[in-house]
Structure formats: structure tokens, C-alpha cells
Structure 1
Amino acid sequence: MFDFTRKVIVSSLLLAGSLSANYKEVSKVEIAQMEQLELFKKAQITITKAYDAGSLYILNISVQGNPDEIYLTKDKKLVLAGDVIDTSSGMKVSAPADVATIRGKEAFVYGTGSEEYFLFTDPECKYCKMLESYLPKIQDKVKIRIFYYPLDSHTNAKDLSLYIMNQKTTDKKITAMFDSTSIIEKAKNMKYSPAELEKLEKQLDEQIQIGMKLNVQGTPTLFDKDGKNTIWVNLLEKFGIEVK
């Protein structure tokens, strides 16, 4: 078992070294051919989407109704399950998220720049707050669509998310986002009408469901306009900002 696991991990890292920066979606004809592989037929695997990443394919699959992501070598002889790591960025290689359908469903938009990003954040997340502390420095360069994704491990995250989303203007929402550490008691004790609370909880639940569909597993999670997962530190470094 150890030898097998080790071989899979080593193979994954070697493959990652020659991955293409831009993933090309595979045609339905080629997907149909992949589904004829003996393993896929036996396991009743359906491929929902596939991407050519250079030295391998990234496959979004459904196994008896359960979604998953696997990798197929270009010769179609080996399937890799688990994480494939890009050696240049340290990021997991993954199919791009479908962000086209979530525009307009964010809590609010931060920034007036031209570079678009999608941020899933938690008001009590330490690293989310670190990222927020640098946002004013890139406000004129980015347009970040903010989605709230409160984690169960953060006691006040839901109350804070609801409070921020309840602010009446974008400017007030942004101010509340930056001030979240100092408004905890106010957020916890906020009184909403039944209709207001129902509307806010529905909106927050929708954002959480969007995050789950995009496989958001922690915060902050940042996607670029093409749905590629982006490390927030790298985003800041791109604009010449050093994280301290």
C-alpha cells in the first residue's frame, strides 16, 4: 500500500511540471470515447466535463450520482485519484470553477478596477482579515465579488455575515466588512423582522450552496474571472505588495 501511494504521489508531481497554464475544454465526442474505457464502464462513471491540461486530462465525473474529480493521462492508460500539485505554484490542479453563472449573486462588489475575482470569505477567518487589510491598496485595480461562507468552527461568523449583508448600501457593507472584529456584539444582538431574517438567511444559504458547488473547502478562497483558484498572496504580489 505504501509503495503504491508513493508512486501515485511522485507521478502526480512529475506530471504537474508540464501542465498547460490554460485548460482547454474537451469535446463531447472525446468525452464519449473516454467513457468507453473499461474501468469507467465497470464503475459506471459518467464524465460531466473534461479539460486538457497539457500532460493530462482533468475529469469532472459522476460515480452513481456522486460528483468527483480525477485525472487521466494523455495515453488514457492511467487514472490518478487524489491531489495533483502544480510544482510552480504549489496549488492543487483542478478544473476551473464555473463562475459565469454566479455573477450577480454576490453580497456586494469591492473595487473599481478591471481585474475580476470571486472571493469566498468568513468574517472571523484570520487569513480573510489579513487579505482584507491589503484590499485598499488594490481597490483601483480589482473588482472582487464578495460571497460569504461562514465556517461552523467560527461561532460568530454567521451573525456577522448576516449583519454585513443587511447594510443598506455597498459602502456601508464594505465598512462593516472591515470593522467585523469590533462589531461582534452588535451583530449578535441585532434584531431583524421575521421577513428580514428570512430574506437574509435565504441569501446567505444561497451563497454557501454556491461555495459548496464550487468545492470551496476553506476561506479565503479566491477565483479569477476564468474560475481558476488563485492564492491571495500571489494576487497581492502581482501588484507589487509584499505580505508581512
Structure 2
Amino acid sequence: MIKKLMGMMLVAAFSLNVHADEASLRKAIEATYPKVRVESITKTSYAGLYEVFLDGQIIYTDDKFSFLIADGRLIEPKSKRDVTGERLDELTKVDFSSLPLDQAIKVVKGNGSRKLVVFSDPDCPYCKRLEQKELVNINDVTIYTFLFPLEQLHPDAVNKSKAIWCATDRAKAWQDWVLNGQLAKAGNCDTSAIDKSAELGRKLGVVSTPTLIFADGKRMLGAYPAKDIEKAMSTTPAKK
């Protein structure tokens, strides 16, 4: 009887401790994110992790809310640092100085002091948006565009890439197309650079367009606003 009573007391104590942990965790979350509604908190069987259901999504954290895992990313709650994102930036860095820039279309804007590489598909709507809405607002930069046609998505992108590459003035032909929809007449020239760019992209893990690579080796995927591109370049030393 005594053993049974002690067992019941231990279960009760454990239950109270769990509820206390959940209450303190809820308080910590709401203090950090006051506008977030915490629906439920459940302790999992995995190394002290708690499942937190809030605002229609599940995150995982510890009892002190010293970190959170959401959408596969580890976040530091107080500073809002994306720890996974920072680590991914480091692991996917590119040696900018090793890039074969002679295989790219070179467009110089202003003094061209800053450097930017873009992997772009002529028929990619996001690539056109990047050029038309964002890059037009950035000055003093040299943009190296590697033609990276995604044939499975855009069957005519290879033909357009060849027409642009074989133009007398490649920079003008590229801008005429992405800015005004005017394609250069197809010509005959050595287009092996397009194949080499495709191989380079695969080597670097480029899977979508546009993919931007900055002089410090970090990359950005998608048609980001000009202000974000400017910010990324402002933290990048200029290279010749």
C-alpha cells in the first residue's frame, strides 16, 4: 500500500513538473512573440524537445525556449537569427575568383566597381522581373550573366540563349530581350559557352533561376528586391 501511494505521489509530482515546464515555456514564448497565439504545448519523447502548436504551425524547442526549429531551420528566438540559414550560406559559398567570367554576358553600370553574377534563363519570368524591376535600380555594378536555359521548363530557352550569345553586342542583345522583349536575330557562332555554363551551374548546385552570387561567394535565390541586393553587395568587398 505504501509503495503504491509513493508511486502515485511520484506520478503526480512528475505531472505537476511537466505542467510547470509547459506553463513557463508558454510564458517565455508569449514574452518573445506577444502577437503569437500558442494553441498547445506537448512534450515529445525526443531529447527534451517540446512540440508547440502556434498560429497554425508546429515548432520545436526546449523547456527554456533557448532555440526553436521551424520549417527545418534552427532559429535563435531573442535575436531572430536564422542559424541554419547562416550555416547554409557558409556551406554553399562560391569561390568568386574561380568563376569563368569570360563565359558570361558582361553588363557594366556606372563605374562597375561592384561585382555580381547571375545565372539566368531567357524565358524565366522571375529572371525578367529581376532585370526589369530590381537590377535597373542598381548602379555602379558589373553584372555577369551566365545563360542557364532550363529546357524542361522552357523548351525554346536554348535557342534564345544562342541567339543572344551570337549577337555582335551580347550585353545589348541581353538587355533588349529581358527589358523590351526584342530578340536578336539568330546567328552562327561558337555556343559552347552555354553548355559550359550549364555544367558550371550543375557543379555549383544551381537548380533554379535567377540565382545571384556575390563577390564574397554568398548566393541569393530568386528575384529579391533591389534593397536586399544592395545590402548584400554593401557587405561584400569590391573585387577586380
What is the TM-score with the length of structure 2 in the denominator? 0.55
Q: Does 1:106 align with 2:103?
A: yes
- The separation in 1 between residues aligned to 2:77 and 2:89, in whole angstroms, is 12
Structure 1 distance, partners of 2:90, 2:219, is: 9
Secondary structure in 1 matching 2:103: coil
Aligned to 2:224: 233
8 Å contact 1:164–1:173 — kept in the other structure?
Answer: yes
Corresponding residue for 2:69? 10
Residue 107 of structure 1 deviates from its aligned partner by 2.5
> CA separation of 1:17/1:109 partners in 2, compared to 1, >3 Å: closer, same or farther?
farther
Q: How many residues align?
A: 163
RMSD: 3.8
One-letter amino acid matched to 1:104: L
Deviations 1:136-157 (A, max 9, x none): 322x322111101000210211
Residue 203 (str. 1) matches residue 200 (str. 2) = no
**Matching residue of 1:97:** 94
Q: Is the 8 A contact 1:13 1:86 kept in 2?
A: no
Aligned to 2:157: 157
Using the alignment, how far apart are the partners of 1:203 and 1:180 within structure 2? Answer: 24
Q: Give unpaired runs (5+ residues) of structure 2.
A: 1-44, 47-58, 62-67, 232-240
Whole-Å separation in 2 of the counterparts to 1:16 and 1:223: 26
- Measured after TM superposition, the shift of residue 93 of structure 1 is 6.3
The alignment partner of 1:147 has SS state of strand
Residue 123 of structure 1 corresponds to which residue in structure 2? 122
**Deviations along 1:182-206, whole A, 9 cap, x unmatched?**
43xx76xx353xxx2xx21x11100
Tell me which structure has the larger Cα radius of gyration.
2
The answer on whether the counterparts of 1:116 and 1:142 sit within 8 Å (CA) in structure 2 is: yes
1:68-87 alignment, distance < 5 Å: 84-86=84-86
Distance in 1 of aligned mates of 2:127 and 2:218: 19
Cα distance between partner residues in 1 of 2:180 and 2:154: 13
Which moved further from structure 2: 145-154 or 168-177? 168-177
After TM superposition, list the pairs within 5 Å mapping 1:123-142 onto structure 2: 123-134=122-133, 135-138=135-138, 140-142=139-141
Gaps of 5+ in 1: 22-54, 56-83
Secondary structure of 2:224's partner? helix
* Distance in 2 (alpha carbons) for counterparts of 1:234 and 1:105: 27
Residue 31 of structure 2 is matched in structure 1 by none
**Cα deviation, residue 108, structure 1:** 1.7
Residue 114 of structure 2 aligns with an amino acid whose one-letter code is E
Supply the distance in 2 between the matched residues of 1:148 and 1:17 (Cα, whole angstroms).
40
What's the TM-score once normalised by structure 1's chain length?
Answer: 0.54
1:166-181 equivalence runs, <5 A = 166-178=166-178, 181=181
Q: Partner of 1:76 in structure 2?
A: none
TM-aligned CA distance change 1:212 to 1:157, over 3 Å: same
Partners of 2:146 and 2:197 within 8 A in 1: yes
Q: Does residue 224 of structure 1 match 2:224? A: no
Deviations 1:45-92 (A, max 9, x none): xxxxxxxxxx7xxxxxxxxxxxxxxxxxxxxxxxxxxxx4459xxx87
Cα deviations by residue, 1:188-233 (Å, 9 ceiling, x for unpaired): xx353xxx2xx21x11100111111111010000010011012542
Q: Which runs of 4+ in 1 moved over 2 A?
A: 6-19, 84-87, 91-95, 103-107, 134-137, 169-183, 234-240
Distance change (3 Å), C-alpha of 1:18 and 1:180: farther
Q: Offset at 1:239?
A: 4.7
- Structure 2 distance, partners of 1:10, 1:132, is 35
Note closer, same or farther for the CA distance 1:171–1:99 as it changes in structure 2 (3 Å cut).
closer
CA distance in 1, matches of 2:97, 2:119: 15
Counterpart Cα distance in 2 of 1:116 and 1:107: 13
Q: Distance in 2 between matches of 1:222 and 1:17?
A: 28
